[in-house]
Structure 1
Amino acid sequence: MPVEPLLQSQVPGHTPRRGKVRDVYDLGDKLVIVATDRISAFDYTLHPGIPNKGRLLTKMSLFWFDWLNVPNHLISADLAALPAEFQRPELDGRTMLVKKATVVPVECVARGYLLGSGWKEYQAHGTVCGLKLPAGLQLASRLPEPIFTPATKAEEGHDENISFEVMARTVGLETATELRARTLDVYTRAAKYAESRGLILADTKLEWGLLPAPGRELILIDEVLTPDSSRYWPKETYRVGASPPSFDKQFVRDWLETQPWDKASPPPELPADVVARTAAKYQEALDKLTG
């Protein structure tokens, strides 16, 4: 029997805040985060969802939290650690109990390669987030060294790149400097490991939070280094000058681009083969990284 995707979690007595993929339950001083099988593209949630996507994302985050060994929000991914009403079979493998933190209101992005919005800005101005880059770089070029390119956190629509100076005015220079250093450290170490497993980690987006006083410690929160927050490419097919295939929802985006859809009305239903190929890509990325 095919696995039915979990599009919404339901826990009696609790009302979650639903994001694009995650359902977040507030337990007071802790949160329960459920990774559903929702998938979004062009700012729309699509149907029918990708079976087991939430479990694959959770497994990858758990792997990286352990491997990176940096302060983070994870308390437990064991259902037995949760209140009884959360101990439901459909939540197994996709649920984390985490520390509650105040989210730093800036997306912390590290890039090792030139693609996406960074490539567009470079073509126009020779910069990415105001950082001057060498002339003559091509699409998907490896950068001389990884760069930190913060962005605003948009509740609706797309995040917008900002300069480090704007970030410093938002969160304070000391916090901005620490976040830049920590983000680049995570990216650099993870990229080196991924390359040893046959994957290029082109860029990643990290979220950080502050624990309550008196400590006010900065910790890594949300997901980490998954295909939903990072761009992974197969090392063996990487070529400068071309946009490499990535281990994410590329099949979904590519299929949508071929449809007579205006991106301003409800999107078409995803066909079974697109769902299956997308699920396989998420699984392949997990397998390559974790063996």
Structure 2
Amino acid sequence: MAIHEYLTTFAGLPVVAFDEEQQTVDPAGAAWRIDMEFEAAAGDLEAALERLLEQTAPAGPAALVIGEWGSAYEDGFPFDLLVRNAPRLTGLRALFIGDLTGEQCEISWIKQGDITPVLEAFPALERLCVRGSDGLELTPVRHESLRELVLQSGGLPATVVRAVAACDLPRLTHLELWLGVDEYGGDARADDLAPILAGRSLPALTHLGLRNAEIAEEVAAAVAAAPVVARLTALDLSLGVLSDTGAEALLAGQPLTHLESLNLSHHFMSPEMAQRVVDELPGVAVDVSDRQQEEDWGRYTAVSE
């Protein structure tokens, strides 16, 4: 399955396509979206960003969403463009790179690059979301302000997972990793998540999403005994291939009754097991919607290509 709709809200703000003809622009009132035509000419994205910066001066937009940059299927997003303009983007608090639908570019085809320079150039950034992981890189970094990190992919490399786990993010409360499938580069295993699950990293974490995972059963078994779960309010294992085996591991592990929400949607549990999860966690908002039927060739994640 692919992603078929653009974001409508981001960072609590409505997403508004930037129009240079707009006469009144409130930099803090919207998440401004820049989107190029497919195979746009070199320099078009930079020109569009320049026009946005002119209208949102002196601090730039509070939230920025980038869709197609002209060649997402072929060239990674030019993070250096944002880094060069960091002095004019001092108001930026939320950034989404890669708001593309499957019709524009399948998630597994979206090229990315090294996101470390962005984190280093924007010390006040609070939310960073990146869609696509082909070529995605991250060097462990300390960031004092980041509260939310979301990496959406059809296959998240183990090197990136380990780098996230090694980052020093003292204020991060929301982490969402779309682990994906091995065929598209998702070679991470539960062991790569160990520092996160052990609670040794990300001391403020309260929302953990390990989504879209081909290794959902392995992840569920690891989560069942993970010390970090005791301080979570939300656990999200949705979009993956969770079956009765994984659900049984979750219920047999540590108590989950302290959670506010448990998202297991898009799953392969039997109706009986899905109901059992709901019944055994009466005070938790449990989502077991979107039950799938296993195909002859096996189970599948919700988002891959």
Which TM-score tier does this pair reach, normalised by the shorter chain?
A: under 0.3
Larger RCO (CA under 8 A, 6+ residues apart): 1
Report which of the two has the higher share of helix: 1
More strand by share: 1
